[in-house]
Amino acid sequence: MLPEPIKRLPGVHSALMTATWVQFRYFDWRHGVKTTGDLLVPEMDAVTQDTALAGFYHPSHPRSGRRILSLLPIEDHSRYTFIDLGSGKGLMLLLAAEHRFKAVRGVEFSRKLHAVATDNIASYTNPRQRCFDVESVNVDARDYEFPSTPLVIYLFNPFRHELLGQVLKNLDASVAANPRDVLVVYLNPLDAYLFERLEHIKETPLHPVEGSRVYRSTVPGTRVSVR
């Protein structure tokens, strides 16, 4: 990460934006997918009328996504289901599939983004792929039923606080009903205060990338390792 004084030099911001664009395009070209391109909420064709509670689509950066996944404090990926809430075109699903998760799921309320993600999953080619149970689910996140397995949940600031609060309340209730290890990685955590209201999920000292926070269920015997 460049120091702030360097970022403010003439031409540096433009160069960084160009480099980011190239990295996104290279990922798509190399793996035969289409994850780039933002999408505004009015264009999403959502399964719910509460579109004002969602944010526009912008994909995670492949490099940041891979770093987050490589630093997860879990020993056996095959026990965990990876879930991206607000999964868009499925970039994080494809990155998560490079690890031996039990399953990889994306939860997306936009019909358009879900359709692109489904096509991307089908066309994805990567010799590093280790998980092949990958699926995008077209549903309002408030209606999604969390699997009973241990979970890794990824959030790239997909919802406004009203909707996120409801989803987190559902997750907390799921952990209470079925105690298990649950990790939540929250990137661009604008509404991190909502986690303070949860009884069974608490913040950890982990920060795998700049502007991220990691939360974990308070299951007896669960250790938080910092890499």
Could you write out the DSSP letters of every residue in 12-51?
HHHHHHHHHHHHHHHHHHHHT------B-GGGS-BSSS-G
For residue 216, the number of C-alpha atoms closer than 13 Å in the C-beta half-sphere is 18
Q: How far apart are CA 29 and CA 8, in angstroms?
A: 31
What number of other Cβ atoms are within 10 A of residue 128's Cβ? 9
- C-alpha span between 67 and 119 (Å, rounded): 25
What does the pLDDT read at residue 25?
78
pLDDT tens, residue order, the chain (227 aa): 545 554 455 554 454 444 455 666 788 989 999 998 776 666 667 667 665 455 667 778 888 999 999 999 999 999 999 999 999 999 999 999 999 999 999 999 999 999 999 999 999 999 999 999 999 999 999 999 999 999 999 999 888 899 999 999 999 999 999 999 999 999 999 999 999 999 999 999 999 998 999 999 997 655 544 44
Please give the pLDDT value at position 6: 47
Q: What is the pLDDT of residue 27?
A: 87
* 117 SS3 class: helix
pTM, whole model, 2 decimals? 0.85
pLDDT at 70: 95
Cβ-proximal residues to 192 (8 Å cutoff; 6+ apart), any chain: 186, 203, 213
Q: Which two tokens stand for residue 174?
A: 């799921």
